[in-house]
Amino acid sequence: MNIIAIGDPHGNLSKVKKIGLGNVDLTLLTGDIGKADLARKRHFENVERKRKGLEELEKDAKFIRASHMEIHSSTIDLLRYLSKYTPVYTIQGNVGIPTLSQVREDKEKYKVKIPCTRKIVDSMANVDLVKNRLRLIEGLRIGFLEYFTDTSWVREFKPSEYSKQLKKAKKQTDKARRVLSRFGSDLDILVCHQPPYGILDRVNFPEAPKHYQGKHAGSKAILDYIKKCQPKYAFCGHIHEGEGMKKIGKTEVYNLGVASHKRINL
């Protein structure tokens, strides 16, 4: 089976179009499908403001609609393009596809008209947004783990409201470990968003806050699973500057950055 794994596209359709999709049976995406420049810029601005003891910049209707439409349009365009050539399996990254309830909440709070991306994605032929599930595809066992906040990230980056964030991350990490345990020890491919802790995960992104630089943004839960269960391949993204390949035992771990790709045959 000819498989192509593509790192976080972030709406970069021009780069994706340069990937030859002939003779490909299956496409895997590591999340963060849409472009989110507006949301990312605002997020980092507020991280820095909170660190300085300043109030966060407020979101208004204009910002909510603009940031939502940026993600929505680029997500739909990219998935429609890929799904013309091959079945596409993807996960949620931290630039997620909003649920119906999230869209409804923003509509009511900000009085804006915005489409429900998730509803459209779920109705698309040849596209499967997989939420923490094992899929058996042509005899291959492929585990899909969506983005979560690992306690290792909270301890490494020490965000504001530390205790609250650590408590929230513990729930998410416990859930992720349960999901990974269900995947078992005979997995062919693990598709996850963030890298394993200490592997291709060091922050060196110019737009990131200064106190983020040089820190490890990977997941210890993912690292522990790979060390113990040794899937053949692990594909991730999230820390784009960490693009590359490293081995953990017998597992080949690929951080595919922004729309970079890896072809394998299994």
Question: Rounded to an integer, what distance in angstroms lies between the CA atom of residue 10 and that of residue 33?
Answer: 5
- Residue 17's domain is classified under what CATH number? 3.60.21.10
Q: What is the pLDDT of residues 52-77, one digit of tens each?
A: 888 888 888 999 999 999 999 999 99
Angle at 36 between CA 84 and CA 225, to 5 degrees: 80
* pLDDT range class, residue 41, cuts 50, 70, 90: confident
Read out DSSP for 4-27? Answer: EEE---TT-HHHHTTS--TT--EE
- The domain in which residue 44 lies consists of 2-265
What is the average per-residue pLDDT within 174-197? 98
Q: What is the pLDDT of residues 215-240, one digit of tens each?
A: 999 999 999 999 999 999 999 999 99
Q: What is the mean pLDDT of the chain?
A: 95
Q: Which runs of E-coded beta strand occur in the chain?
A: 2-6, 26-29, 88-90, 127-129, 133-137, 140-145, 189-192, 233-236, 244-248, 251-255, 261-265
Q: Contact, 235 vs 189, CB < 8 A?
A: yes
* Three-state SS at 187: coil
What is the average per-residue pLDDT within 100-120? 90
Overall number of domains in the chain: 1
What is the average per-residue pLDDT within 39-47? 85
Question: Rounded to an integer, what distance in angstroms lies between the CA atom of residue 226 and that of residue 94?
Answer: 21
pLDDT at 14 over 90: yes
pTM (global) more than 0.85:
yes
Question: Rounded to an integer, what distance in angstroms lies between the CA atom of residue 25 and that of residue 133?
Answer: 20
* pLDDT range class, residue 100, cuts 50, 70, 90: confident
Relative to beta strand 244-248, strand 251-255 is antiparallel
* pLDDT range class, residue 98, cuts 50, 70, 90: confident
* Beta-carbon contacts of residue 103 (< 8 Å; ≥ 6 apart): 68, 114, 115, 116, 117, 118
Comparing 83 with 56, which gets the higher pLDDT?
A: 83
Helix H or strand E segment including 169: helix 162-183
